[in-house]
């Protein structure tokens, strides 16, 4: 075989190889440019047996309220995304005697959001009457994230989590406040980065409570006079701000025989003040005799 024929055949071989490689690259590029179908798991209605929502089946799209029934645990794996299909309803309802375990990882948080992800009020909240544990969880685009009902329910623990891009940080009735335990919960970019304590004569403190500072939390806003019952201690930790949201009344009534523990530090003082939108009225009322409503 002459050298010229050898080089001609070699050249043709390499040309064929190059054309094949080029065609493969073009095909892969075209495939990657096509819209990719994302499978979702649609959920709604009651959960009557212990259930696990897995990362493999994520995202879970809630088309109507998912209610966890008494005696049942819903476990949500790290990395799961739960999306509300529309506004106006709670994504999950943890019934009395039920349990929700949503424990993510720093690198694989669990996310509660909406399909639209368009802003505040995309979805309502999570309703918890039973017990719930949230860790490394992100709440996004909600109205008020958590709705806590029932003074006799279990603990609601939120740790190392983020509440963002919503309307309120959280709304909690005063008679359920003792159930809420927060640690390193970051509030950011909500219209109101506050925990609103909803108090009235029918919903007031029933157990001892501690208000703790959280990153980005502007304060605890009290919607009506909050009575500290006799023989009960209400503790406010250093760095906390307490606001009164109404006019013409005090945020806290410290009854005779009750105790308010509010000891700040030079670098982390405690602040009692009024809502800047409704600045009238006292913040504290101290009594020597038991306080009775008119």
* d(C-alpha 118, C-alpha 140), whole Å: 10
* d(C-alpha 162, C-alpha 104), whole Å: 12
Mean pLDDT of 164-173: 92
Give yes or no for a contact between 113 and 51, defined as CB atoms under 8 angstroms apart: no
Least Cα distance to 276 among 250, 254, 251, 244 occurs for 244
Residues 259 and 161 occupy one common structural domain: no
Residues 45 and 181 occupy one common structural domain: yes
pLDDT confidence bin for 248, thresholds 50/70/90: low
Least Cα distance to 80 among 101, 43, 108 occurs for 108
Mean pLDDT of 46-66: 96
Residues 66 and 179 occupy one common structural domain: yes
Residue 49 pLDDT > 70, yes or no?
A: yes
- Tokens found for residue 246: 């109404």
The confidence score (pLDDT) of residue 279 equals 47
Residues 178 and 287 occupy one common structural domain: no
Residues 98 and 236 occupy one common structural domain: no
pLDDT confidence bin for 33, thresholds 50/70/90: low
pLDDT digits (tens, 9 = 90+) for 139-149: 999 998 988 88
pLDDT digits (tens, 9 = 90+) for 76-114: 999 999 999 988 777 899 999 999 999 999 999 999 999
- Reading across the β-sheet that carries 233-236, which strands appear in turn? 209-211, 233-236, 259-262
Residue 42 pLDDT > 90, yes or no?
A: yes
* Mean pLDDT score of the chain: 83
- Report the range of poorest mean pLDDT among 12-16, 51-55, 234-238: 12-16
Domain that holds residue 111: 40-198
Residues 175 and 105 occupy one common structural domain: yes
Domain end call among 151, 181, 198: 198
H-only helix segments in the chain:
3-33
Q: Over pLDDT 70: what percentage of the chain?
A: 78
Domain of 162, CATH number, reads 2.160.20
In a domain, 97, yes or no: yes
What's the number of domains the chain is made of? 2
Q: Which residue has the tokens 């075209």?
A: 30
The confidence score (pLDDT) of residue 292 equals 41
* Residue 152 bridge partners (DSSP): none
In a domain, 276, yes or no: yes
pLDDT confidence bin for 274, thresholds 50/70/90: confident
* d(C-alpha 38, C-alpha 34), whole Å: 12
Phi, psi of 209, deg, nearest 5: -135, 145
Mean pLDDT of 225-252: 84
Give yes or no for a contact between 204 and 178, defined as CB atoms under 8 angstroms apart: no
- CA 259: distance to chain centroid? 31
pLDDT confidence bin for 19, thresholds 50/70/90: very low
The confidence score (pLDDT) of residue 74 equals 98
Residues 76 and 174 occupy one common structural domain: yes
pLDDT confidence bin for 244, thresholds 50/70/90: confident
Terminal-to-terminal C-alpha distance of the chain: 115
In a domain, 255, yes or no: yes
Mean pLDDT of 248-265: 83
Residue 206 pLDDT > 70, yes or no?
A: yes
Q: Tell me how far CA of residue 212 lies from CA of 114, 154, 245, 255, in angstroms.
A: 29, 19, 19, 22
Residues 56 and 177 occupy one common structural domain: yes
> Could you tell me which residues come within 8 angstroms of residue 71 by beta carbon, excluding any fewer than 6 positions away?
97, 98
Residue 174 pLDDT > 90, yes or no?
A: yes
pLDDT confidence bin for 30, thresholds 50/70/90: very low
- Report the range of poorest mean pLDDT among 172-181, 230-239, 269-278: 269-278
Higher-pLDDT residue of 41, 10: 41
Residue 247 pLDDT > 90, yes or no?
A: no
Residues 190 and 52 occupy one common structural domain: yes
pLDDT digits (tens, 9 = 90+) for 114-135: 998 888 888 989 999 999 999 9
Residues 242 and 181 occupy one common structural domain: no
């Amino acid at each position: 075989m002459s050298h010229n024929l050898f080089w001609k055949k070699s050249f043709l071989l390499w040309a064929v190889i190059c054309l094949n490689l080029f065609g493969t690259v073009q095909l892969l590029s075209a495939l990657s440019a096509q819209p990719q179908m994302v499978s979702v798991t649609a959920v709604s209605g009651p959960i009557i047996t212990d259930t696990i929502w897995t990362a493999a089946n994520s995202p879970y799209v809630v088309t109507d309220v998912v209610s966890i029934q008494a005696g049942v645990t819903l476990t949500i794996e790290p990395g799961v995304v739960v999306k509300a299909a529309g506004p106006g309803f709670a994504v999950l309802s943890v019934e009395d005697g039920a349990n929700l375990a949503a424990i993510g990882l720093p690198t694989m948080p669990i996310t509660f959001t909406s399909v639209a992800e368009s802003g505040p009020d995309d979805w309502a909240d999570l309703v918890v009457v039973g017990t719930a544990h949230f860790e490394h969880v992100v709440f996004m685009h909600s109205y008020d994230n958590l709705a806590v009902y029932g003074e006799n329910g279990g603990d609601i623990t939120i740790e190392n989590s983020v509440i963002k891009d919503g309307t309120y940080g959280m709304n909690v009735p005063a008679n359920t406040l003792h159930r809420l335990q927060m640690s390193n919960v970051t509030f950011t970019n909500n219209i109101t980065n506050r925990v609103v304590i909803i108090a009235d004569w029918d919903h007031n403190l029933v157990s001892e409570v501690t208000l703790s500072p959280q990153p980005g939390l502007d304060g605890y806003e009290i919607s009506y006079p909050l009575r500290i019952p006799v023989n009960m201690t209400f503790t406010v930790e250093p760095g906390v701000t307490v606001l009164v949201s109404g006019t013409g009344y005090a945020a806290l009534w410290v009854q005779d025989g009750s105790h308010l523990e509010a000891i700040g530090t030079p670098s982390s003082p405690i602040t009692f003040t009024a809502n800047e939108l409704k600045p009238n009225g006292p913040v504290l009322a101290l009594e020597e005799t038991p306080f009775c409503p008119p």
